[in-house]
Structure 1
Amino acid sequence: MMDPAQPLEIPLFPLRSVLFPAGFLPLRIFEPRYLAMTDACLRDQSVFGVCLIRAGFETGQPAVPHAVGCTARIREWEQPQPERYTLMATGENRFTIQDSWTRDDGLLMAKVRLLEPPDPLPVPDAHHHLAELLERAITQIGDAQFPSPQRLDDAAWVANRLTELLPVTPERKQQILECEDPARALAKVEQMLAELREDPPI
């Protein structure tokens, strides 16, 4: 178990997507810098950090990440070719970047501070229908697509899983990742759902 009080030095993988604690992240790795990162994570059983890109692109020059991200641990992997990996990673802990630098091979490194997970909070009565909505979605999509055990009575878990499903911009999802109060996160999810009902995506 990583100590939130101790700064952690990890490689970063800036993406145009947001990873939440307990969330699933499928990846196809082919750039040399990320092949080296994957080799190291598998060898050392260590984590890497996933951050939403604030400026730049997923490939090429190192992108500028948002300050808050989520550590990822490789759970499943295949190597279909010598210079290719197919990974399934799982989100673990939110963190905030304290310092960052780029290695000679182009891999972005960072010193991060792990953020304490919120205390368990039951889903407030005002948002109980969101837990029911998520439960229906899990039934329709299938249990295998969601982390186990299911925590439909936990406000943060419900907010994160619903946000993963919503067809909103990564920047909107980042707002939920950065939210410290699970009840406030659920209120933000409620607002996004209301906006989607008013202006459904094409």
Structure 2
Amino acid sequence: MPVTATEALPLFPLHTVLLPGAPLGLRVFERRYLDLVAECGRSGRGFGVCLILEGEEVGVPATPAAFGVEARIEDFGNDRNGLLTLQVRGVRRFRVARTRVRDNGLLVGEVQWCDGPAAAPLQPQHAMLATLLGELLEKVGGVHPVLGHASANLRQLEDASWVGWRLAELLPVTDEQRLALLQEDDPHRRLDRVLEWLDEE
């Protein structure tokens, strides 16, 4: 069995699940995370966001979930209290093989990148999910870059992977359910899960 190479990635454990393609706003005030932002600025790299399984977002390093998503900084600023604010977007999924803690308290994961999304046309049994997503996107406005571009919207709504991530982002599901979808490699099985949850409502 081949050994999969790992890569060091600084982690930002949160009480939320970041999904591929999803935006997230953050306020940064702890020294370890200010250092993290400075490091990302120098290297041009992102950092990992994982759901906290045990612990808190501040203080002692929390226990993160085994799966997370790389966050790339798109914008930054300051709030009225002078705290650093970030706008990030989820990019690649990863699995955490092991973790270590730097001297400044920052958690670093040795991560294995999950395969990127291959083109996966929507299957007929999931067509109603694309219709539902189209209705949701009309209500939320300009959250996603493709909104307002009809041809791009149509292509995205035919992509099982994109439909699954956007439904996981927009539907009122729990973080545990989002994490279950994040751990699933097959985009069609993700949509099967979403259908099951909708049927239970």
TM-score normalized by the length of structure 1? 0.89
Whether 2:25 is the aligned partner of 1:26: answer: yes
Aligned to 2:149: none
Gaps spanning 5+ residues in structure 1: where? 198-202
Summarize the alignment of residues 168-187 of structure 1 with structure 2, pairs less than 5 Å apart.
Answer: 168-187=173-192
Aligned to 2:136: 137
Counterpart contact for 2:120–2:187, Cα < 8 Å: yes
Distance 2:187 2:27 in 1: 32
Counterpart contact for 1:35–1:83, Cα < 8 Å: no
Distance 2:197 2:88 in 1: 27
Q: What amino acid maps onto 2:118 in structure 1?
A: D
Partner of 1:57, secondary structure, is coil
Q: What amino acid maps onto 2:14 in structure 1?
A: L
How far off its partner does 1:79 sit?
3.3
TM-score normalized by the length of structure 2? 0.89
Distance 2:71 2:62 in 1: 18
Pick aligned residue for 2:168 from 163, 170, 173 = 163
How far off its partner does 1:194 sit?
2.1
Q: What amino acid maps onto 2:52 in structure 1?
A: I
* Segment of structure 1 superposing worse, 145-154 or 101-110: 145-154
Summarize the alignment of residues 42-191 of structure 1 with structure 2, pairs less than 5 Å apart.
Answer: 42-80=41-79, 84-142=83-141, 144-148=142-146, 150=153, 151-191=156-196
Residue identity (%): 40
Counterpart contact for 1:8–1:111, Cα < 8 Å: yes
Counterpart contact for 1:22–1:147, Cα < 8 Å: no
| Alignment root-mean-square deviation, CA | 1.7
Alpha-carbon displacement from aligned partner over 1:100-157 (angstroms, at most 9, x marks no partner): 1011111101111111023211111111010011011111111x21243541111011
Distance 1:82 1:103 in 2: 28
Partner of 2:188, secondary structure, is helix
Deviating 4+ runs (over 4 angstroms): 80-83
Q: What amino acid maps onto 2:45 in structure 1?
A: S
